Chains A and B, each alone.
Chain A
Amino acid sequence: MDRRGFIKTCTAVAAASLASPSFFISSLRAQEVEFKAYKKAILLKKDGTPLKPEEIDPEKQYLFFYPHRATPCILANLGKEIPPAEVKLSDGTTYRWPGGVGPKKSIVAYCAICPHQLSYPTPEFSFINYYPENIPSKIVKRGGVIQCCAHLSVFDPAKGGEVIDGPAPFPLTAIILKQEGDKLYAVGTLGKELYEDFFDVFKPDLRKLYKSSRKAKKLVDKCEVVEVEEYAKEVIRC
């Protein structure tokens, strides 16, 4: 932004903030895209032992819940080294996503709540899924993408969750993973979070699953990783 552009923006923001003080705060908040640390949580197998990076099959997709008990994440091994990426937002701002983890730097995780209209995997259906190379998307006709079949938003898991196609207004929230020895941990999120809206609109569903909103929102310190196909009765692909 040049000086003139900056002054213009400041004037507009100042004028708007005179009308409403909350506008100023909310517009600043909207600019903030940064790492947010949550409880460090170890990724475990169903038997309770730590999940080793090499046990993550590149032809499958996995699910765990982090940072809250009810907030789902997709875990995938993209099968190749995934370097860090600059993630672009539609307003032109960018943030840096650190890339894959594991011995091949190929393992990534994203919040499995669609940034468009919040579709997420339930025990009944999973509308938002990772498409490994062996299961290409019918929409973009290739694998290696995360796609939501509600309104056909397609995301790039190799580029920090950037939007490839469809109506999603911003990228998937990245889940930041860390490897220590041969153990994997989730440590926080990067990108715009949707948890507030998620807990609001799905309140009735989450109460059925977790008894109360309070229990659904509980922060976790360990995550059981399962195949999506084991969790949802039907995986919806398109």
Chain B
Amino acid sequence: MGARKLNGGAIMNLNRRDLFKIAGTGAVLGAVHVPSTACAVKSANSMLPPAKGNRVVIIGGGWAGMTAAKHLKKELGDGVDVVLIEKRKIFMSCPISNVWLGGLVDMEFLMHDFHTPAAKYGYTFINATVTDIDRDKRKVYTTEGYVDYDYLILAPGIRYNYDAWFKGDKKMAQLCATNFPSAFIPGSEHLALKRKVHNFEEGTFVMTVPPPPHRCPPAPYERAAMIAHVFKQNEVKGKLILLDPKDTIKPKGPGFRRAYEELYLGIVEYVPKAKVKEVDPVNKVIRTTAGDFKFDDANINPPHQAGDLAWKAGLVNPKTGWCDVNPLTLQSKLDPRVFVAGDASSVKGFPKSGDMAHNHTQNMVVKALVALLKGKDPLEAVKAPTNTCYSMVNGDPKEAIVINVLYDIDRKKKAPVKKKVNVINDRSSQLARSTFEWAKALYRDMFG
């Protein structure tokens, strides 16, 4: 194989064997920062005829991307050409996956198809992997060809930053990711984790909480409760140690603490101020600022960053690992034609969660973009979002707790501000019912 021009313009000589090596690493471990254009052919074929009006391309069919596609079409109908590009063959929801891990819903509850909403709302669904984003020419390259855009909604989600721990030791990072998958990105990792949890018979199971900001702040605590529920049901002779870099459980701390004390006494051991210093996946030891912990099995959660495609687009602030955006419209500060929706963007006071992604995309990204396309002021068009987040803390009977944050738009500061926080830390079966309805309603909105 000869020289190939890469994204950044560098020339790299790769033989076939090297290419396979890189492709293999990239496939197994998204965290190792391999320039994936090295394995992709930049196709010269346009996948779609030119749009009659404005074309909005959405990269990523997660909670933000699915919401954007539906609501743009709902607001503008034939007035906009919407194209959604997603690499997965099927949608799997990360929200509610802990409840599934606890055995309280089946997999079908989490799975949805991309085709029905695309047909119903009238957008184009392209099932392909994005290989490059050329913001100067406004082209998105995929494994199937390229698509031109007028505006881009980038919703790539997160990637794991194993490098923060393994400092370039790719072999150890890979071992950690393979043997102790994080399962904060839906797919195979979740199935692997479920097998681990349900097969665990005795000993110490360790789980680390990623350092903030990470996807879904209450998720690790809910996951701990669901794992503990399984251990309790299976009469496991052992415990779950939850290593948290923070000083205390946040959010819904009292609700989680009470669940651990009242439902899982002796099963869950919560360790605060436990910042991970070193992970040894071979000898099964995690060294932290709160001591060293040997484990028999584990769910090891590395720090999170903006998803790969945000890096590829050159829109990530390397100091934070997230995309800097206008806090009202979520337009990239580096390129106003690109809106960064969902977890990859960084807005003060917004947690990275499915509900927040859905809400800020519908009320801010879509409203701003619709205003832009109509020649109006996008800042005036955005609406205040809300964020509602249930956490299942008991499996038998099913009981949950909830937090609900209401925001206001501060027009002077040109930023969202928290208006009110409602929390119910008293777990109840009513809130467990609501948890399922919360999810079903959002799936209805995104998938029709």
Contact = CB atoms under 8 A, between A and B. Distances in A.
Interface of A: 11-13, 15-16, 19-20, 22-23, 26, 90, 114, 116-119, 125, 127, 138-139, 149-152, 165-167, 169, 200-201, 234, 236-238
Interface stretch (B212-220, B342-350, B438-446): B438-446
B420 A165 contact: yes
Nearest to B75: A26
A151 B79 CA distance: 31
B402 to A, nearest CB: 7
Interface string B360-390: 0000000000000111100000010110100
Contacts of B402: 152, 238
Interface string B295-314: 00000000000000000000
A15 B375 contact: yes
B78 A119 contact: no
Contact of A12 (B54, B374, B406): B374
Contacts of B77: 20, 22-23, 26
Given A12-B376, A23-B76, A166-B386, 6 more contacts: A20-B78, A22-B78, A117-B444, A125-B437, A150-B434, A238-B402
Contact of A167 (B78, B376, B388, B428): B388
Interface string B403-429: 010100000000000001010100010
B433 interface: yes
Interface residues of B, number: 35
A117 B441 contact: yes
Given A119-B437, A165-B420, A20 B430 contact: no
Contacts of B424: 138-139, 238
B177 interface: no
B78 A139 contact: no
A202 B27 CA distance: 39
A117 B445 contact: yes
Nearest to B78: A20
B423 to A, nearest CB: 10
B36 interface: no
Contact of B438 (A15, A16, A125, A151): A151
